[in-house]
Amino acid sequence: MASDEDIVTLFSKFGFGDAKSKEIIKNKKVSQQLYEILGDDLSSFSGELEPKKLALLHQLAIDLKGSENVSSSLRQLLTDAILDERIKSTLQVQEGVKYLKSTQSPTESELNTHAGVGQEVSEEQVHSTISKYFDSIMDELQAKRYTMVPSILGQLRKLTELKWASPALFKPIVDSLALKHLGPKDERDVIKKVKKTPAKASAPDANKKDSSATKVDAPVETERSMFSEGFLGDLHKPGENPQMWPELMDEHLKFTHRQVFTRFPPEPNGFLHIGHSKAIMVNFGYAAFNKGNCYLRFDDTNPEAEEEVYFKSIEDMVSWLGYSPWKITYSSDYFQELYDLAEKLIECDRGYVCHCTPEQVKEQRGMKADGTLGGQRNGCSHRERTPEENLKEFRKMRDGFYKTGEATLRMKQDYTSPNPQMWDLVAYRVLDAPHHRTGDKWKIYPTYDFTHCLVDSFENISHSLCTTEFRLLRESYEWLCDTLHVYRPAQREYGRLNITGTVLSKRKIAKLVTEGYVRGWDDPRLYTLEGIRRRGVPPGAILSFINTLGVTTSTTNIECVRFESAVRSYLDQTTPRLMVVLDPVLVEVDNLGEDETIEVEMPYKPGSNPVTLGPLSGGRTLKFGKYIYIDRSDVRDDDQVSKEYFRLAPGQPVGLMKVPFNISLRLIERDTEGNITKVLVNYDKDIKKKPKTYIQWIPKSDCIKIDEVRVQNALFTLENPKDYLAELNPNSEEIFGNAVIESSFKEIVSRSPMNVEIPGSQFNIKEKPGNNTVRFQALRVGYFCLDKDSNDDKLILNRIVTLKEDSSKK
Ligand code: ATP
Ligand code: MG
């Protein structure tokens, strides 16, 4: 038996790092086996091996440990295949070992067959095989729809054509084909649960055909969950993501205890928008659903664009949406570790300092004069520098010897790869800018491509969930983790959420703000999360809405009106009703005495069961008397009163909500300019006649004046604003300065946030108090909330949404 010291010495001769050797040594059998492989099979080899080969030899040792029947001469067959790159993957090593163990007299050619040498399957081939498979099961697929997807994945693994294909390719292809053949998921794909009613204690009623004791309720549609189906439902379990260095998984699992770990990684260079709420939900929600943890990680590697307000706002928005980060971290927390790994990258000859201009780099990457790729690709001369020289140059970068643009650290990846994200990406750039957290300590900053995967690794992320534009970066993500021999998290990509009918780009919104078209980044007409919150949209409405859309790998494009309609139905279930008159005229009831009043009861929400109404139960008493306000638009006396006009007009009485009898018009008083100043009516006491409609009203003696009601409409006139400044809606904000509201509004203010729960919803968020949580339905007018500008001296309301979809288009 070799001593640990001998083993480490030999390992390092072949290129295993110290830390790595120490880890391997922890397993006596494996390290002994690897020692023999290196010592015997590679006795004629000198120098260091590439990390990938080291990993495969390590895998070989793991698979061979304790199998005495494989002699060293047989083993040599496999070692040679690894060295000359016939064998390139873990799966191949495993299959090769299986073959050796199964036979007394192996041959090289049979080994090649069993280990799939030369059997690489391209992505196109995988695609075409899966397409054909879909064609062969089309009838069953149409019948079973999405429930078939898991079994399809299982079957694909058994297909001989796909044996040597990377299984990671299957899922996205299957998803896109399912979508192509079945269309998006719909009600047919809802998983229905049958809920059993507990047997009743009372004796079954003999007269009824069904006895209630055995009756089963009609199927209850449970709320679909984006976390248990679709893209998120199909994700791997912690610990199942493949590793180039399998032993790193143990360490990872020791930290995570097999819990899900995710992160939401915004760049603190702007305010979040509605699309980000999907990312927040995907990351925080998936972790919570699986009883795991999610970091809020500020990706602050770009000091020039970062500002304090963004950090604060992002944190606020996450909390507003009902999530609490497990930890708040910053990429800059890891600048030193990242720097050390950059040196390590150089030491293993996988990083080099490059002085090429952006134009030269483009040319090296095969960019042609017309800006398209596809030309000849060549690495530059800097690529040939020795690690020693690179280290010296990199330290010069660090020490401020170079100005921005004069030098970068690039990863030595693979120019022959078809993937442009493998063409020697930049890892570090010179930037002499102070950083809000590290001050002027650094003159070089790591790029996203270098930082993201490594910080995911440091933080033991089990699922690094990002949007599909990062798909091609996955290869580089894994390459860097593997090359640096750190735990490799699994990056998986889902489709973005886009809202149409508005603009989301930071640059465009900034222009609207700085040029004064809107009230700020949190203007209720914008789809920034700050704006949506100020507008009064409840966070639960956003989450429920995104949940109904589900998560797939395709982009979801949604019109604002669809979002609004989801908000409307959420508000319908969760808000009290009040009466507001936007444009009041005074009504004098002729036949009521000055002090005569009729008390009417109004519940805050229709329905009588206090259990289901929860915080919305109860109501108030209103006093109908001689003077009330109604809306100017609810009375007319012009000749053209049309047949569709149901409200107050000569010869046409109208009902006042909850008031026992109608009022009928007697006289309209006007000022010299023709504006209505007062309406005289009769209270049609004791005349039972159903009016054509009812209108809202407010007692003059008991009302509150609203300083400003802001009725927000669509910000743009077109569904897809392109020339967006020219397409601004001139009436996107109408202001009413005379509106009145009934005095019970005060009670609603004091009862807010009401935190009304929707039965069966996963998204009943307890909100913290704030103006935006004072929400109500103004009968016949719309849903409103208190604006953030509102205070004890000035009452200001925002319209959250209209009552009906079409009323905004009037
Ligand atoms: P972009 O990448 O479009 O520039 P951004 O810079 O505004 O977005 P980041 O701070 O990079 O925002 O975003 C943080 C996270 O939110 C990222 O994981 C990103 O993929 C995700 N994200 C951004 N926009 C959307 C969207 N429209 N739908 C879903 N997720 C999104
Ligand atoms: Mg970004």
Q: How confident is the model at residue 806 (pLDDT cuts 50, 70, 90)?
A: low
Domain match, 619 and 721 both? yes
The arithmetic mean of pLDDT across residues 295-312, rounded, is 95
Q: Which ligand is nearest to the CA of 456?
A: 1
Distance between Cα 448 and ligand 2 center (Å): 9
The predicted pLDDT at position 192 comes to 52
Domain match, 741 and 634 both? yes
- Using an 8 Å Cβ cutoff, are 243 and 249 in contact? yes
Q: Of 579, 580, 695, 685, which Cα lies nearest the Cα of 635?
A: 695
Last residue of a domain, one of 90, 114, 138: 114
Domain match, 46 and 169 both? no
Q: Which CATH number do you get for residue 145?
A: 1.10.10.2420
Distance between Cα 667 and ligand 2 center (Å): 64
Domain match, 14 and 134 both? no
Which residue has a Cα nearest atom 15 of ligand 1?
266
The reply to whether 496 belongs to the active site is yes
- Among 161, 247, 267, 588, which one carries the catalytic annotation? 267
- The torsion of the CA quartet 135, 136, 138, 144, rounded to 10 degrees, works out to -130
Domain match, 96 and 136 both? no
The arithmetic mean of pLDDT across residues 638-644, rounded, is 77
Q: How confident is the model at residue 641 (pLDDT cuts 50, 70, 90)?
A: confident
Q: Which CATH number do you get for residue 56?
A: 1.10.8.1290
Q: How confident is the model at residue 3 (pLDDT cuts 50, 70, 90)?
A: confident
The arithmetic mean of pLDDT across residues 701-724, rounded, is 93
The reply to whether 48 belongs to the active site is no
Number of domains in the chain: 3
The predicted pLDDT at position 809 comes to 44
- The answer to whether residue 466 scores a pLDDT higher than 50 is yes
Which residue has a Cα nearest atom 9 of ligand 1?
266
Mean pLDDT score of the chain: 91
Q: Of 754, 780, 509, which Cα lies nearest the Cα of 614?
A: 754
Instruction: Tell me which of 84-93, 711-720, 736-745, 775-784 is least confident.
Output: 84-93
Q: How confident is the model at residue 222 (pLDDT cuts 50, 70, 90)?
A: low
Please give the distance of CA 47 from its chain centroid, rounded to a whole number. Answer: 48
Q: How far is the C-alpha of 264 from the C-alpha of 466, rounded, in Å?
A: 9
- Among 52, 383, 396, 506, which one carries the catalytic annotation? 506
Q: Which of 274, 467, 521 to mutate to test the pocket of ligand 1 (most atoms within 8 A of CB)?
A: 467
Last residue of a domain, one of 183, 210, 234: 183
Distance between Cα 467 and ligand 2 center (Å): 10
Q: How confident is the model at residue 234 (pLDDT cuts 50, 70, 90)?
A: very high
> Which residues have a Cβ under 8 Å from the Cβ of 616 and sit 6 or more positions away?
574, 575, 576, 604, 605, 754, 756
Domain match, 106 and 128 both? no
Q: Which ligand is nearest to the CA of 498?
A: 1
Lining residues, ligand 1, CB within 6 Å: 265-267, 270, 275-276, 278-279, 466-467, 496-498
Q: Which CATH number do you get for residue 716?
A: 2.40.240.10
The arithmetic mean of pLDDT across residues 407-430, rounded, is 97
Q: How confident is the model at residue 205 (pLDDT cuts 50, 70, 90)?
A: very low
Last residue of a domain, one of 80, 114, 148: 114
Domain match, 176 and 29 both? no
Q: Which atom of ligand 1 is nearest to the CA of 470?
A: 20
- Note whether residue 178 is domain-resident: yes
Domain match, 109 and 127 both? no
- Note whether residue 304 is domain-resident: no
Q: Which atom of ligand 1 is nearest to the CA of 278?
A: 29
Domain match, 803 and 655 both? yes
Q: How confident is the model at residue 187 (pLDDT cuts 50, 70, 90)?
A: low
The predicted pLDDT at position 166 comes to 77
The predicted pLDDT at position 636 comes to 92
The reply to whether 267 belongs to the active site is yes
The arithmetic mean of pLDDT across residues 619-638, rounded, is 95
The neighbour count for residue 507, using CB atoms within 10 Å, is 8
Q: Of 467, 463, 473, which Cα lies nearest the Cα of 496?
A: 467
- Note whether residue 739 is domain-resident: yes
Mapped onto helix, strand or coil, the DSSP state of residue 264 is: strand
Q: Residues of the chain with pLDDT > 70: what percent?
A: 94
Q: How confident is the model at residue 191 (pLDDT cuts 50, 70, 90)?
A: low
Which residue has a Cα nearest atom 29 of ligand 1?
496
- The answer to whether residue 216 scores a pLDDT higher than 60 is no
Q: Which of 276, 461, 557 to mutate to test the pocket of ligand 1 (most atoms within 8 A of CB)?
A: 276
- Note whether residue 629 is domain-resident: yes
Q: Residues of the chain with pLDDT > 90: what percent?
A: 69
Q: Which atom of ligand 1 is nearest to the CA of 267?
A: 10
- Note whether residue 533 is domain-resident: no
Domain match, 775 and 711 both? yes
The arithmetic mean of pLDDT across residues 552-568, rounded, is 94
Q: How far is the C-alpha of 785 from the C-alpha of 491, rounded, in Å?
A: 41
Report CA-CA distances (Å) from 318 to 264, 600, 769. Answer: 10, 43, 16
Domain match, 164 and 21 both? no
- Note whether residue 208 is domain-resident: no
Domain range for 169: 123-183
The predicted pLDDT at position 395 comes to 98
Burial class (CB in 10 A: 0-12, 13-18, 19+), 198: exposed
Query: Which has the higher per-residue pLDDT, 64 or 705?
Result: 705
